[in-house]
Every structure is written in C-alpha cells, then in structure tokens.
Chain A
Amino acid sequence: SQQGEEDPQALSIQEGENATMNCSYKTSINNLQWYRQNSGRGLVHLILIRSNEREKHSGRLRVTLDTSKKSSSLLITASRAADTASYFCATDGRGSTLGRLYFGRGTQLTVWP
C-alpha cells in the first residue's frame, strides 16, 4: 500500500506544549501534505512539502521531510486547545494515479487547557 502511516495513533498534551507527529510511507513521492480534521468536519489543508524540500514552516507548524527514510514529521509549537483534532499525512500518486492522495489513519491530538 502507498498509504502513509502516522505515529503515534493518539497524543495527549497540555496547552503550551509542543506536539510532534510522524508519518512514514513506502513509495517515492512528488510531495507530501498534512491535513487536519476536526471532529465531524471535513479535512483542512495545512501544509505541502515537496520531495526536494527538507523543512517548511507555516505559523506554528514545522514540517520536515526525509526522503531517504521515507518519513515526515509535523511539529505544532505552543499548542492550544483549538489544535485538538486528527492530523493526517497524505502522499501523492504517481503515473496513472497522479492526482490521487493516499491518507494514513491519522494521529488524534488532544490538547488539554
């Protein structure tokens, strides 16, 4: 399967702490994306990192990509209760499946006030 797999499956922290989630995948990629899903809602795009990039920042988010290890990490700094959600990594398809996203099972993040 080309799916990314997030680790840990669940993460519980206090407000103000940093949260780190990891994603591993199996095949070569053009890019990797992270999405957030609040309970009962659709997914929201957070950040995209291309295969030739190693690190990317967006506000309190920092994403790293290591193509040699086929892994990525998402760091949320100074977390807030509003960051409570499921976080998914998504890898892109190639060739005949270009345009298709492959999602992992997600990491459920709970941030306690």
Chain B
Amino acid sequence: EAGVVQSPRYKIIEKKQPVAFWCNPISGHNTLYWYLQNLGQGPELLIRYENEEAVDDSQLPKDRFSAERLKGVDSTLKIQPAELGDSAVYLCASSPGGTGWETQYFGPGTRLLVL
C-alpha cells in the first residue's frame, strides 16, 4: 500500500511570502496529523484531524498558520506570512480508526527554508 505522500519535498521562500504544504494520507486512514520538527528536536503536533474535523489545534499558531482537510482525505497546511523562525520540517502523519489507531504513519516531510 502507498504511504503518506507529501509535497513539495523542499521549499525555499523569502520571509513574508505565503507557502502551502500538501498531504495525502494512507487510504482509509481517518486521522491526519501535521507536525513541526525543528533541527535536533522531535516532532511537535500542530493540528490533528478526525475525518474533516480539526479536533486538536491548540498548538497551531492561528495568526499565521491555517489548515484544511476537505472531504476528509487530503490536507493542506498554509503559512501566511512566513517568518524566518518557520524554517523547519513539516511532517504529515495518518493513523487508522479501530485497532492500531495509536500507531502513526509518517510522510517524508517538507523541508522549508525561509530567507
């Protein structure tokens, strides 16, 4: 089965520009996560979706970050405007409902560099 797909893999932008990341979870996985991973750190959750509903977004900086998961499948994470401190890897993960729901399957990430 195909894994979690993310695009782009790399993105370089200037500060104050907008940027968007796209994620396609594993087919049939109801739960989708966006994580931020800074260099030398573990991932930190930004937002979690159950189907199309954001059920945990308390760590999403809502002044500049937004996310959506239309139709409960693909998801987009946007930053507008980007700041230098947003340079990091943005990871998407998904997990199934039912048995094994605790295990998360990660995509390769989008590495963002803000200049």
Contact = CB atoms under 8 A, between A and B. Distances in A.
A88 B40 CA distance: 11
Interface residues of B, number: 23
Contact of A105 (B41, B55, B91, B93): B41
Q: How large is the interface on A (under 10, 10 to 19, 20 to 34, 35 or more residues)?
A: 20 to 34
Contacts of B42: 3, 88, 90, 103-106
B77 interface: no
Interface in B60-83: none
A45 interface: yes
B108 A103 contact: no
Contact of A101 (B41, B104, B105): B104
B103 A45 contact: yes
Contacts of A31: 102
A90 B106 CA distance: 14
B102 A43 contact: no
A42 B102 CA distance: 17
Interface of A: 3, 31, 33, 35, 40-45, 48, 88, 90, 92, 96-97, 99-101, 103-106
Interface of B: 4, 31, 40-45, 48, 55-56, 91, 93, 101-109, 111
